[in-house]
């Protein structure tokens, strides 16, 4: 049977012999039917359970009729901003508008609104006052309760209230969306769909909320940063699907937003079933004339082998979205998808990645997690690896060998994040040897993020000593193999806890390693992370101890410039930072210094200016 796209217009619906769809899925992304795109997974999952789905991708958000393509759905609307949060999609950390959108035809920006979930729901409500609306995806999931919003610099209400939706399906959603659909299909009114794990609902009846923890009221977390921090800590400690309690938040003394415990992780069989659905693995042909969808090119020949992460970096939202319990697909499922890839007309023999949030995680951190859940007040890898953690790379090694042995496959890369602390916790370094020999092409990207233990502790990252040991082991293995390969570190400036002194220490480390990063990530306070809570409250949410936060744009610019201190454009900022911290010992000539006493002329600029002047003189002479 030929795979085909889901209906995108009424003509498609009629061609299938339908007179009405069960659900309309409204997405902020263009329609890409590939399992790396959340909307594709959710719509195909609903289809597999017998529901008729119509897709409205990137509706004209200025025109309510743009969500009326199929008419009123029989059961309701699903709404998502797409694979990315719309605000992160639109703005840099400096709050400047991005010029490209990889999830839009031709990479064109501006095809989706800011706060897309809210806007789309409001469009629907203008036409359909009572039709159920279920919101999901990363944007809705991370705004499910009161949250600090970096772009408006204020605490905002749950997106459930701001959007006028009826239910949030948070997390990955395969379980909860089917249960919601089944409940509505049974004839249950949406206001009574309050019992499904992985959902958030609203009520005015506090007595109906059972076995639950009441969070500080919304008005309290707006008025008091300590109350905000306490609230976040309770939310964070209730992210485990086995141990979490129901939690709820009161608004105005009469409206309650209730978060049910997270949905259970998918089993291996369920993961396999999800990735075996009949995806076309392409963007819809209606985008061909406008240049296709750039985001597909990035992942088209990548394989997702797992989801969830017990690495638990504080600046990452994975704990609040995918959870800490790793779920993995079977080898058979992954190999079958790889075989399909090799038959694609555009496949050149290279599989770009086999991984997930963390490449080598192929099982839960310890044996108790799948029955009793992850520990509430302990991390698996920080500050040191937990003794109960099972460190084993053998399954991943076997998987990589199988994938690279497939006919037509020339090379298999590993481009997902590799947890060097997990790797160093393994006394058997076979995986690192395999990685260096077969799966790296000159450069391996890893994420130490910083080198100051003061900052690393706020990030939930291991001590710099672990990173140094990894670098030493990486070099040793490559020297034995006669390979010239290098580690390219991801580094972050201005994370909570980072002072100018910490930034200078990082600059000195960069000087000693002889590598100047081409890219630097300034800390971006996105919703629902520990680090964002630190940024807003200037305290650790778990201890309530104060945390230094660089919020002044000029200081943030200095911290960023220090990481790229050799860039002539950064000279004045670097010098100012060094003088401010009384580090004149780093100003001078020689390899031990960061910058010279005076800004040096850029030779390339001089040459370019001279060349331009000579051309101008010659043109002037010709005219004469």
Calculate mean pLDDT across residues 217-237: 98
φ/ψ of 380, rounded to 5, equals: -75, -35
Res. 425 pLDDT band, cuts 50 70 90: very high
pLDDT at residue 600 in the model: 74
Calculate mean pLDDT across residues 167-176: 97
Calculate mean pLDDT across residues 193-202: 98
d(CA 494, CA 561): 11
d(CA 111, CA 100): 10
Task: Note the residue count of the chain.
Answer: 624
Nearest one of 246, 284, 278 to 262, comparing CA atoms: 246
Domains of the chain: 10-202 (3.40.50.280), 289-522 (3.80.30.20)
**Beta strand 199-203 pairing with 255-259:** antiparallel
Calculate mean pLDDT across residues 232-249: 97
Segment 34-44, tens digit of pLDDT: 999 999 999 99
Segment 87-124, tens digit of pLDDT: 999 999 999 999 999 999 999 999 999 999 999 999 99
Nearest one of 447, 475, 443 to 462, comparing CA atoms: 447
Rg (CA), the chain: 26
Asked if the model's pLDDT at residue 297 lies above 70, the reply is yes
pLDDT at residue 603 in the model: 53
Segment 352-393, tens digit of pLDDT: 999 999 999 999 999 999 889 999 989 999 999 999 999 999
Instruction: Give the H or E element holding residue 282.
Output: strand 282-283
Segment 556-611, tens digit of pLDDT: 999 999 999 999 999 999 999 999 999 999 999 999 999 999 887 765 544 444 44
| pTM for this prediction | 0.94
CB of 443 closer than 8 Å to CB of 483: no
pLDDT at residue 602 in the model: 61
Q: Alpha-carbon torsion 353, 356, 361, 363, what sign?
A: negative
Q: Which long-range contacts (CB under 8 A, 24 or more apart) does 564-572 make?
A: 564/516, 564/517, 564/520, 565/507, 565/510, 565/511, 565/516, 565/594, 565/595, 566/516, 567/516, 568/599, 568/600, 568/602, 571/595, 571/599, 572/599
Calculate mean pLDDT across residues 320-331: 96
Calculate mean pLDDT across residues 446-460: 96
Calculate mean pLDDT across residues 506-513: 95
Check residues 460 and 617 and name the one with the higher pLDDT.
460
- Which residue do the tokens 């990315």 mark? 84
Segment 60-86, tens digit of pLDDT: 999 999 999 999 999 999 999 999 999
Asked if the model's pLDDT at residue 624 lies above 50, the reply is no
Q: Alpha-carbon torsion 517, 522, 526, 532, what sign?
A: positive
d(CA 548, CA 558): 16
pLDDT at residue 370 in the model: 84
The rounded percent of the chain whose pLDDT value lies above 90 is 93
CA of residue 524 relative to chain centroid, distance = 12
């Amino acid at each position: 049977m030929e795979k085909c796209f889901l209906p995108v217009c009424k003509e498609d619906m009629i061609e299938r012999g339908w007179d009405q769809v069960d659900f309309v899925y409204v997405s902020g992304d263009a329609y890409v039917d590939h399992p790396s795109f959340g909307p594709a997974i959710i719509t195909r999952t609903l289809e597999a359970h017998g529901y008729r789905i119509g897709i409205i991708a990137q509706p004209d958000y200025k025109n309510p009729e743009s969500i009326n393509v199929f008419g009123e759905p029989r059961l309701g609307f699903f709404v998502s901003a797409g694979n990315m949060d719309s605000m992160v999609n639109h703005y840099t950390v400096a709050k400047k508008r991005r010029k490209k959108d990889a999830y839009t035809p031709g990479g064109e920006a501006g095809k989706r609104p800011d706060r897309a979930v809210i806007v789309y729901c409001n469009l629907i409500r203008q036409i359909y006052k009572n039709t159920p609306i279920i919101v999901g995806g990363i944007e809705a999931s991370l705004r499910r309760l009161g949250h600090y919003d970096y772009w408006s610099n204020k605490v905002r209400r749950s997106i459930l209230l701001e959007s006028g939706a009826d239910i949030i399906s948070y997390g990955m959603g395969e379980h909860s969306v089917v249960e919601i659909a089944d409940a509505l299909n049974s004839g249950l009114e949406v206001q009574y769909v309050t019992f499904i794990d992985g959902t958030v609902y609203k009520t005015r009846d506090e007595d109906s909320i059972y076995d639950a923890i009441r969070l500080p009221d919304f008005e309290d977390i707006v008025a008091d940063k300590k109350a905000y921090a306490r609230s976040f800590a309770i939310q964070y400690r209730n992210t485990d699907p086995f141990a979490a309690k129901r939690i709820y938040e009161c608004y105005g003394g009469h409206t309650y937003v209730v978060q049910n415990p997270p949905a259970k992780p998918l089993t291996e069989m369920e993961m396999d079933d999800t990735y075996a659905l009949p995806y076309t693995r392409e963007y819809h042909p209606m985008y061909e004339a406008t240049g296709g969808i750039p985001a597909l090119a990035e992942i088209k020949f990548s394989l997702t082998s797992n989801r969830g992460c017990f690495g638990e970096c504080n600046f990452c939202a994975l704990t609040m979205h995918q959870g800490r319990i790793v779920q993995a697909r079977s080898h058979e499922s992954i190999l079958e998808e790889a075989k399909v890839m090799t038959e694609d007309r555009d496949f050149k023999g290279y599989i770009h990645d086999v991984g997930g949030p963390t490449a080598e995680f192929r099982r839960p951190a310890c044996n108790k997690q799948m029955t009793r859940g992850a520990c509430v007040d302990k991390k698996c890898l920080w500050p040191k690896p937990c003794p109960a953690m099972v460190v084993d790379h053998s399954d991943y090694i076997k998987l990589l060998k199988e994938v690279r042995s497939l006919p037509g496959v020339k090379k298999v890369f590993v481009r997902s994040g590799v947890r060097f602390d997990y790797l160093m916790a393994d006394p058997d370094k076979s995986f690192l040897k395999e990685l260096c020999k077969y799966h790296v092409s000159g450069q391996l990207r890893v994420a130490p993020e910083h080198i100051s233990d003061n900052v690393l502790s706020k990030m939930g990252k291991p001590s710099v000593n672990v990173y140094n040991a990894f670098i030493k082991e990486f070099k040793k293995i490559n020297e034995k193999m006669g390979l010239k390969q290098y580690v390219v570190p991801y580094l972050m400036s201005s994370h909570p806890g980072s002072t100018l002194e910490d930034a200078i220490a990082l600059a000195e480390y960069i000087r000693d390693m002889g590598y100047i990063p081409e890219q630097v990530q300034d800390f971006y306070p996105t919703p629902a992370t520990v680090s964002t809570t630190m940024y807003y409250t200037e305290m650790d949410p778990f201890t309530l101890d104060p945390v230094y936060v660089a919020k002044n744009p000029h200081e943030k610019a200095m911290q960023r410039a220090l990481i790229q201190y050799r860039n002539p454009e950064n000279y004045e900022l670097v010098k100012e930072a060094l003088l401010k911290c009384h580090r004149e010992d780093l100003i001078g000539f020689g390899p031990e210094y960061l910058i010279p006493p005076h800004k040096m002329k850029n030779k390339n600029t001089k040459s370019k200016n001279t060349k331009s002047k000579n051309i101008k003189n010659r043109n002037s002479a010709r005219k004469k």
